[in-house]
Structure 1
């Protein structure tokens, strides 16, 4: 069967053809066993899987055409015609040309499976179109396939709605002209907007969001952007980062199970771990992006750039909170969480300064079970102080700090610019150096960010500036899961 033949299949024919192709492909794999496919089998397998994907694309196109036709029927619109066919089948006209669509059979897959399949097809198209990075799509796929059923269902519908290319085009037109952009929508774009609005309304009923607005396209969602192209915030590379569809992440943390040696027929001791159930809430953050009304002529171009603007502004806001956040109306920073436990704080060896003995003191104080995966974190100023530390003979005490990937006492050291520096001329309590297992520091991002458009921005004198506004709000949180996995250096200074 050729590609042209596939493009003429009805829905039921495309489903049967896809299943036939997959069956033949599976038989080739089973025949090969554990060996790699070679020669004609490899070529045939690639051909079968490629054509099965084409059938999937055909099935999706027919289903979308069917949904559009039903929408037009319900609204009393024109622009389509039906002509009788075989039982359970009709031909529905569309532009360009007619397509075939069969009624759903009784053997259709469960709704949850169809939701997941729809979302995965949208993600695949977004990757091929270059609007979403593969890592971002993998993040969404993980949310769709793990977690509570209600959360998986909402995430699948969110991904299909917010990731729809028709919604992205409608969003671009709305951005370019907040007041009249909707009059330029095609029927497909209008339907995509309504679908996204329904998903957003469901989120509002099940979370604390009551401020309205509309969904930002999935490819521009800060939670997805920050997991896609590699965040410039080192904490996102160091910490454990998870995405969630809810307002609070719930987990389990334990200091570990006690093991012991037993003699024959000897009763085992109680080795039950003391489990903690940490909860990390996601706090509301916002980003304000003003732009000129001239953007109306280049709405699509603006949408491609707004992701970079959002990512930079969110990075700057969250980097400070992940480090020193109070946990009141903002994420709990690791410094704030750790310094609240005095037993995890070590006084510096030097006098009002970071000295070469301090990293060794932290390393010696860290429990052995966290040593293997531990790493240091410090401000660049502190790192440079240690880089200049010399022996009495003028040799560098920490030569590996000069490497492209700096190491301190055999451990990686990360530059975290929001950490304290030590200034002996100021009276302060400083925490300039931290060592720990950073997998025990959690950053959580809630997917499904919201945006509101301000059609006219006013200046200090309450007159229009010729600008519009793009106001996005998102949710993120952070906290230390196991405080004992870290040690903090304390240096007190007196002016």
Structure 2
């Protein structure tokens, strides 16, 4: 049986192999050999992830057992936070330390997997990884709680040292790693569903992320000694700016004294507020007025990716097939359905006819796959069918072509010890928390999507 360290090492190797294979495939369709290799690595990675949790529990039991039978133990195994004291710590050491530092947190399986994928994806940014590791320390969590309750004078020396890495130039404090909604997904009822399936990048410098897109190279069949054509592709330069989002919560001094865990509850509410605000923006954000551009807004701007339903105010099987066929094959295999639960139920009703029994009856949950591709529900997706205009309904496409840009560190929170009344500008016994973060979003390649619109009856 492999040790926990061997399991972690193999997971890291698989991640590197998958990244290299993805770069090799690029925008082209994978060959049969490449697809088989990808599927094999993906299956092995899932098996390792399922094996590692029991292995970690077993290692903890062995450690506890040995502690009862010997009073002195010697080990040269580095601690989870030793990398912070090693200026030469590489990306793999920081990734391993981050995973170990957060294994004891109350993080659900899907969230743990998302956390590990995210830190591995951005492991090249060692400063970012080191900051996450520092914010994973228990001293940072306890110090953060004291500061949010206005008890900075009670900070221990260890807490002051830990908090120094999480303060920004504006005086705010970044959330502890396991509470940061940028790093850890919130509960399964989160409305921020689009973030979970989209490409997420971290912008470390400047205020605008600049990418590169291309339709790819078009090859040709030519005769012997025939001059080859110039197949240089046209490159696009999508630019996504970051937008400021903020929230403020106030409470009386009496509430600070009387309500247990007030600061923790407020942090949870901030995380929920971020989810709801971003969830709506990623679906239908205007891209103007300091908002990210939603996927529906981006697609609605181009008739080349719009498909009109066959019948007004009705979603039919033929419309689902048209959406599926409309996405080019190079993106279809990685595509997902994005729709409001209302339309998912409408599609479920299509299965009532014997000739269309491809979805379940009322005793079964709504489908999580349509034509073999995953279904993602979002209450922020449109539901209107006016029949007087082309109303947007369902998106199908490869969401790696919808990019969400975050500034490093995620959400920052500042504690305001006294608020002043607007009458005479004197304190009135209130305190508050000010939370803010910067993010942006837009589609980088609309050709990878199709948008179903309701036909007008006019």
What TM-score, normalized by structure 2, do the two folds share?
Answer: 0.68
| Match in the other structure for 2:417 | 455
1:257–1:295 distance in 2 versus 1, CA, 3 Å: farther
Counterparts of residues 92-103 of structure 1 (less than 5 Å): none
| Match in the other structure for 1:421 | 383
- Distance (Å, rounded) in 2 between the aligned partners of 1:190 and 1:474: 23
Q: Deviation at 1:341?
A: 0.9
| Match in the other structure for 1:274 | 234
- Report whether the alignment pairs 1:349 with 2:310: yes
| Contact 1:432-1:491 at 8 Å conserved across structures | yes
- Distance (Å, rounded) in 1 between the aligned partners of 2:93 and 2:258: 30
Counterparts of residues 116-135 of structure 1 (less than 5 Å): 123=98, 126-130=101-105, 134-135=112-113
Secondary structure of 2:116's partner?
Answer: helix
| Match in the other structure for 1:241 | 200
What TM-score, normalized by structure 1, do the two folds share?
Answer: 0.64
- Report whether the alignment pairs 1:482 with 2:445: yes
- Distance (Å, rounded) in 2 between the aligned partners of 1:291 and 1:307: 13
Question: Which consecutive residues of structure 1, in runs of 5 or more, have no partner in the other structure?
Answer: 1-42, 65-108, 147-151, 202-210
1:435–1:135 distance in 2 versus 1, CA, 3 Å: closer
Secondary structure of 2:236's partner?
Answer: coil
Secondary structure of 1:373's partner?
Answer: coil
- Distance (Å, rounded) in 2 between the aligned partners of 1:144 and 1:485: 24
Counterparts of residues 21-420 of structure 1 (less than 5 Å): 54=76, 56-57=78-79, 60=82, 111=87, 113-114=88-89, 123=98, 126-130=101-105, 134-135=112-113, 138=116, 141-142=119-120, 145-146=123-124, 152=125, 154-177=127-150, 181-197=151-167, 200-201=168-169, 212-226=171-185, 233-246=192-205, 247-290=207-250, 293=253, 301-302=261-262, 305-328=265-288, 329-389=290-350, 394-395=353-354, 397=356, 399-400=358-359, 404=365, 405-420=367-382
Q: Deviation at 1:444?
A: 2.8
| Match in the other structure for 1:10 | none
| Contact 2:312-2:457 at 8 Å conserved across structures | no
- Distance (Å, rounded) in 1 between the aligned partners of 2:348 and 2:81: 62
- Distance (Å, rounded) in 1 between the aligned partners of 2:142 and 2:209: 33
| Contact 2:146-2:154 at 8 Å conserved across structures | yes
| Contact 1:175-1:299 at 8 Å conserved across structures | no
Q: Deviation at 1:485?
A: 1.2
- Relative contact order (C-alpha < 8 Å, sep 6+): which is higher? 2
1:472–1:358 distance in 2 versus 1, CA, 3 Å: same
| Match in the other structure for 1:23 | none
1:298–1:475 distance in 2 versus 1, CA, 3 Å: farther
Q: Which moved more, 1:456-465 or 1:372-381?
A: 456-465
1:406–1:252 distance in 2 versus 1, CA, 3 Å: same
Q: Deviation at 1:421?
A: 2.0
Secondary structure of 1:222's partner?
Answer: coil
Q: Deviation at 1:57?
A: 3.5
For residues 263-311 of structure 1, give each alpha carbon's deviation from its aligned partner in whole angstroms, at most 9, with x where no partner exists.
Answer: 4444433232222232222322123344564675699945654553333
Question: Which consecutive residues of structure 2, in runs of 5 or more, have no partner in the other structure?
Answer: 1-58, 64-72
Report the structure number with the largest CA radius of gyration: 1
For residues 346-368 of structure 1, give each alpha carbon's deviation from its aligned partner in whole angstroms, at most 9, with x where no partner exists.
Answer: 22221343333322232333323
1:408–1:124 distance in 2 versus 1, CA, 3 Å: closer
1:465–1:349 distance in 2 versus 1, CA, 3 Å: farther
- Distance (Å, rounded) in 2 between the aligned partners of 1:216 and 1:419: 29
Q: Deviation at 1:390?
A: 6.6
1:368–1:340 distance in 2 versus 1, CA, 3 Å: same
Secondary structure of 1:145's partner?
Answer: coil
| Contact 2:80-2:98 at 8 Å conserved across structures | no
Paired residue total? 379
